[in-house]
Amino acid sequence: MAYHSGPGLPAILLQVSQIRAQNLSKFYPVTLKAPGFVGTLRHFFQRKYKQVEAVKGVSFQIAPGEVVGFLGPNGAGKTTTLKLLSGLIYPSAGQVEVAGHQPFKREHAFLRKITLVMGNKQQLIWDLPAADSFRVNAAVYEIPEADFKKRVGELSEMLALEGKLNQPVRKLSLGERMKAELLAALLHRPQVLFLDEPTLGLDVNAQVAVREFLREYNRRYQATILLTSHYMADITALCERVLMIHQGSLVYDGGLEGLLGRFAPYREVHIQLGQLVEKDRLGQYGEVREQEGLEARLLIRREQLVGGVSQMLRELPIADLEVRDPAIEEVIGQVFADTRLIAGPITDG
């Protein structure tokens, strides 16, 4: 599948986009202050500012029903972009359209079509049962009583929350609270979900449960989902396509496989040896990343892979050999650590 981003998109593609951003930017003025008493006085009488570019000329489109991962290191501009798309902040430049609306206008029809879930924020009232907070949301969105009961029942079953909704929120486990937050955010059945770290701090079982719920919700209601997460398992489990942002600029828009091909110039070779071989000798064939007993993991550049593997099979006591792509987490970490790998916006099609 080919993905497209940037200005000058064909009109037929723009018409089917659920989310569209063109040259979207957000700049913030930040005051500068010298240290000490004199610096404080000067700051009081004559302030100086610098402009911080949180988001710089970002362009992409997302089709209805698509689940897209949004990657980037801390401070890259992910949350700012989500706030622009959900209408919480006004763009400094560019155009944005979500579900046929301009988000910053905050029209009622728009707010009924979207939801924003942030893993480090909560909307549920701490000392009340989650069910009471749901009723508040139902009143805000004017959900009829019959629909409200049906949706709570359906979502609580999907999230395995039966029997938990009448307990005070503070009595719920972290995983149960996150599930209840999702239920509250989805009561009005939004078409577009902006999810910022929805599995933050959850244990492995709770993370899996949230991923399965989001996958089923997308399948059942064809909801469009833009998901940020530092847990790459969230991205690999749910998203075929990813957007990568770095220092406010979009540097990649495409599939996970294309990301590996673009930023991982090597393959992993896992070998099982018939007898022990010194690490220095293994290093003649590639970079030895791990060696434990008779097992080893090497990195070999893609263009040297065929010759390197053939040479190992001829010269080493190989009992078994497997070639794999490197772990996506390792590739992403390498990109963020080495900005030289980023040469501008990239698509895989």
Write the pLDDT tens digit of every residue in 231-258.
Answer: 888 888 999 899 999 889 998 899 877 7
Q: In the predicted model, what is the mean pLDDT of residues 172-176?
A: 89
Q: How confident is the model over 24-48, as a mean pLDDT?
A: 86
Contact between 268 and 329 (Cβ < 8 Å): no
Token representation of residue 282: 């293994």
> Each residue of 131-140: pLDDT tens digit?
999 999 999 9
Count the Cβ atoms, other than its own, within 10 Å of residue 223: 21
Q: For residue 8, what pLDDT is reported? A: 40
Q: In degrees rounded to 5, what are phi and psi of residue 9?
A: -70, 145
Tell whether the model's pLDDT for residue 287 goes beyond 50: yes
**Lowest-pLDDT range of 83-92, 197-206, 337-346:** 337-346
228: alpha, beta or left, given left = phi > 0 and alpha = psi -120 to 50? beta
- DSSP 3-state of 46: coil
Query: How confident is the model over 324-337, as a mean pLDDT?
Result: 72
Within 8 A by CB and 6+ apart from 212, the residues are none
* Domains of the chain from N-terminus onward: 63-260 (3.40.50.300), 266-324 (3.30.70)
- What is the phi-psi region of residue 121: left when phi exceeds 0, alpha when psi lies from -120 to 50, beta otherwise? beta
Return all residues near 53 (Cβ < 8 A) that are at least 6 apart.
25, 26, 27, 248
Taking 90 as the threshold, does the pLDDT of residue 73 lie above it? no
pLDDT of residue 340: 54
The widest CA-to-CA distance across the chain, in whole angstroms, is 77
Average pLDDT, the chain: 86
